[in-house]
Structure 1
């Protein structure tokens, strides 16, 4: 008896276009509700003000004694903590949001494709959060310490809260995106755009690219640039290793049979 045709795997999964729109609407509503619930929970405890104090802690710890951040806009003390609470709520609800995305696209995928997508969704989420945590707990402290060490004694630093929020968001996005390097490497290799051997040969060039990116997206200090470039180079090597594993375990049935026959 011959092997079953993999195209039959999706038979019966087709839905009318309107049904797809209804399902998309329902999953968007669930994702938004998850964010709203997390926002409400964070607003009750620890509260927007406490969240901002937590976010500002790495900077405040390196300001002169008695110095605080300032608000140059009348409504900034109200809006900025709310923006931070919304940002925290989105990050807290991210697993639910990504699950809704996964549940929407999963019926249209073959089994071997599902083996690829779900691990990538989970790993990309964890890597992004890891990048944000690395930036908050390590990079911020080193950067602010370095900057304050160069500040003249005649200058009293009093950063604006909106400017600080913009700086934090840009750094979080930069480090979160940089930590996605393994996912990008795996996708490029799995889709056949770049081979494993070419990825290995690109190592030296990637190191240069990593330092150029770090010089562009981080403040002009050596510490933050090294803190971004070095993890990118390490994660690139992890991506090459992960690509080998993914290619081996996410092949289509016919491709796996051909490889076994060779």
Structure 2
């Protein structure tokens, strides 16, 4: 009985993966950001547009305003929480659109081959060769600013990576026995790709998503910093940094709070992405 009790914890330890401390901290930070984004309205102590001109540029650390106030007396902590929600919404939405569009085009290229494959690869080469920031600036300057347009535009970023990965892995899967066997049993191409090929390449696509996600956050922050991203009265992390740069010498906390959040969040996602790549890539085992 004692031997069985001693073996059970050992087997349980072997069953759980050895997660580094850095990955655990990164996952905790991302979880905290998600909780703040989901319950922003309940957690924020003030409305993010509420003015208090008598407390303009208040120093951080006081009981009323933990992170201080900005030039209009708005609570920096409340604006930071709402900015996290908007920035994560844009990042998650854009990453999902990019992954779905790129994977779909990659599967189409692998299935039809020929002209369809050449057209998809030509689009991917064109996307990779064009600076996306210049394209985004042109589109936003011409069509104006709106949150759905910004999310859709960000969704065009990085799709060529998913397309190349999905195409290559789908061609490899088609050359293997399981995809051909399922096809010979009468399965439709849609079922073959969605029920059999996609689950086998999902790990690689997930790793790619974790690598694109921080880039989308930085890109959105850059556009908002330039004044072409999220527009007032709505706020985002890049928007807060853009407005806070004018008060960098007098009230640096206005810019430092969102800037540190951007850096730590992108670093956390990158750490998790690198760890997942090492865990899921069989060539690195």
The alignment's TM-score, normalised by the length of structure 1, stands at 0.31
